[in-house]
Amino acid sequence: MPIYKYKAIGVNGQSHQGTFTANSQQEVIQMLRSSNSYPVMIQEEVDSQLREVNLLGGVKTKDIAVFCRQTYTMLNAGVPIINCLDILRSQTENKKLRNVLEEVYEEVQKGLTFSESLKKHMDIFPELLIHMVEAGEASGSIDTILERMAVHYEKETKINNKIKGAMVYPIILSVVATVVVVFLLTFVMPTFIGMFQGSGVPLPLPTRILMKFSELLKNFWYLFLLGIIAIVYGVKRYTLTTNGRLKFDKLKLNFPIIGGLTQKIITARFTRTLSTLLSSGIPLLQAMENVANVVGNKVAADGIMNVREEVRRGVPLAPPIRRLGIFPPMVDNMIHIGEESGTLDDILDKTANFYDDEVETALQKMVTLFEPIMILVMGLIIGFIVIAMVLPMFDMLKTVQ
């Protein structure tokens, strides 16, 4: 379900704001009126999980990890926050982040808190980091919070790099296969067409199909290119919509091979982020709302928000997590043990470390399986082309004999 951000005025005249998961704006209005509040603003949040994973504005997760690590190091050494920002704005390598830190530095100089200045740049800084900095300022442990966030984003960067690294080989193999097929159809095949047509021998069906496709590709290659670009653009635009994102993320969870890997990635992000938030003193309900924004899958995010509503009504965390059916059985068992022993944050951290290793193993398996599949597909395509070119030659030899 969509997440709506609202501002409202209570019966005492004080304004308050927050988020609420609902099917429509009308449902949010009814919720506010039932609590004797007058809605001032209601708007559907942009899919913030995309921002958490990709970090818009040209700032990567790695840049945020370095920012947190450097800020923690200086704060832990006793350097005031204003001096930290002064140093960071001059030495940060990422140009976009350096420009933003320049503005943050000026805003803190004018009297804003660190978290308030970060909040003004939510297109750059993840919502999770901003909430954690707020909690650190309130508890006086901002250096500890930033160390935890540095570790969190370093691990997130490690997972992202593993995923990108695993995709390099399949992408290269796919590109090479495509280039070889296009070369055969546009340069090799036309040399045989004249010979085949002048022989007077009836051509087999595979050869006729291949000749027609080769002719179309050579004469109208730009239409094929435009078609591919249009399909990619259309799919990308559709996945940016709420319904499209939901269907695409559901497909990733259910697709063979990829589904298991996606589940492990979601699990690693969920357990690591929830552990970081709980160990920093963030209440469970607020922590789950933040976690829903960083798992990188809308199906899982909506499910976590539904679990949050059950927890808000007093239900322990483990049973609704089990009923959700997205996480492996180990997760709800570990959560149950953590709740019983009062060490939920520590248990979740150990679970996250386990699934970080599981993600690496799953990526290696996927690449290992993908290689023979790609070779098989490439072999079938090239084999079809070769057979289609060879068959008429046999018929021509028979005619000559």
DSSP 48-79: HHHHHHH-TTT--HHHHHHHHHHHHHHHHTT-
Domain-located, residue 193: yes
Same domain flag for 131 and 190:
no
Same domain flag for 392 and 284:
yes
Identify the domain boundary among 156, 184, 206.
156
- The answer on pLDDT for 40 being more than 70 is no
Domain-located, residue 162: yes
Identify the domain boundary among 94, 123, 156.
156
The overall average pLDDT reported for the chain is 82
Domain-located, residue 55: no
Which CATH number goes with the domain that contains 105?
Answer: 1.20.81.30
DSSP string covering 144-202: HHHHHHHHHHHHHHHHHHHHHHHHHHHHHHHHHHHHHHHHIIIIIHHHHHHHHHHH-PP
Number of domains in the chain: 3
**CA dist., res. 144 & res. 72, Å (int):** 7
- How far the first Cα of the chain sits from its last, in Å, is 73
**Partners of 68 in beta bridges:** none
Identify the domain boundary among 156, 190, 220.
156
Domain-located, residue 140: yes
* Structural domain that includes position 360: 158-400
Q: Residue 22's pLDDT is what? A: 67
Assign 394 a pLDDT band (cuts: 50, 70, 90).
Answer: confident
Same domain flag for 22 and 80:
no
12-26, 70-84, 277-291, 317-331: least confident range = 12-26
pLDDT tens figures, 48-71: 444 444 444 467 888 898 999 999
Same domain flag for 241 and 200:
yes
Q: Residue 199's pLDDT is what? A: 63
Domain-located, residue 240: yes
Domain-located, residue 14: yes
Same domain flag for 170 and 192:
yes
Same domain flag for 185 and 213:
yes
Tokens representing 97 are 């982040």
Same domain flag for 165 and 203:
yes
CA 208 from centre of chain? 44
Same domain flag for 185 and 128:
no
Domain-located, residue 171: yes
Domain-located, residue 317: yes
- CB–CB of 265/294 below 8 Å? no
pLDDT tens figures, 286-309: 888 888 888 888 899 899 999 999
pLDDT tens figures, 323-346: 988 899 999 999 999 999 888 989
Same domain flag for 38 and 76:
no
Same domain flag for 145 and 174:
no
pLDDT tens figures, 139-192: 788 888 888 888 888 888 888 888 888 778 778 888 888 888 888 888 877 777
When pLDDT is averaged across residues 358-384 and rounded to a whole number, the result is 84
Per cent of the chain over pLDDT 90 is 14
Same domain flag for 287 and 248:
yes
Same domain flag for 302 and 243:
yes
